[in-house]
């Protein structure tokens, strides 16, 4: 698999559910940044880039969305539709996100601060990077 799915333990009782995420325990990196994507308009596709070094864990804490992942050789489609499942993205992976439900809140944890220089936003440059890797 290009992306790795991680299942989180649900601490549930008669009041409801709670999930805890901890640095280097159930997330395999130190978390430096958290962002979330919400209110995505109908039929919008986002992403269209790869990262040179960033590690990320994406969780659809509400609703659902789909990822297309591409490592330059293979492609895979993953649907995130559960707050107890995270998608780990590590290494050179082209990603696109689509089919966001109206209520989707996509939470993303990362191991680095935001750095536009880490993005590869051109697919042919992405393939060049893969071949130089």
Q: Which of 33, 46, 49, 66 is catalytic?
A: 49
How many positions of this chain bind ligand T46 (CB under 6 A)? 11
Work out whether 91 is an interface residue with ligand T46 (CB under 6 A): no
- Are 58 and 107 within 8 A, CB to CB? yes
Here the tokens at position 10 are: 């649900």
Binding test (CB under 6 A) with ligand T46, winner from 6, 31, 37, 88: 37
Distance between start and end Cα atoms, the chain: 19
- Are 125 and 50 within 8 A, CB to CB? no
Residue entry with tokens 């994406």: 58
- Are 65 and 99 within 8 A, CB to CB? yes
Q: Residue 117 Cβ, how far from ligand T46 at the closest point, in Å?
A: 12
Torsion region of 94: left, alpha or beta (phi above 0 gives left; psi -120 to 50 gives alpha): beta
49 is catalytic: yes
- Applying CB under 6 A, the span of 8-16, 21-29, 33-41, 124-132 interacting with ligand T46 comes to 33-41
Work out whether 56 is an interface residue with ligand T46 (CB under 6 A): yes
Work out whether 35 is an interface residue with ligand T46 (CB under 6 A): yes
Residue closer to ligand T46 (CB basis): 8 or 36 = 36
Contact set with ligand T46 (CB under 6 A): 33, 35, 37, 46-47, 56, 58, 95, 97, 108, 114
């Amino acid at each position: 698999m290009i992306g790795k799915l991680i299942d989180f333990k649900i601490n549930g009782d008669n009041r409801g559910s709670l999930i805890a995420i901890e640095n280097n325990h159930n997330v395999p990196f130190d978390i430096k940044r958290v962002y979330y994507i919400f209110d995505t308009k109908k039929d919008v596709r986002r992403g269209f880039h790869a990262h040179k070094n960033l590690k990320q864990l994406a969780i659809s804490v509400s609703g659902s969305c789909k990822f297309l992942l591409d490592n330059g050789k293979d492609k895979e489609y993953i649907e995130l539709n559960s707050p107890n499942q995270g998608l780990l993205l590590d290494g050179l992976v082209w990603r696109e996100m689509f089919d966001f439900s109206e209520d989707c809140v996509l939470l993303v944890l990362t191991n680095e601060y935001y750095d536009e220089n880490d993005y590869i936003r051109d697919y042919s440059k992405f393939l060049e990077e893969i071949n130089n890797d």
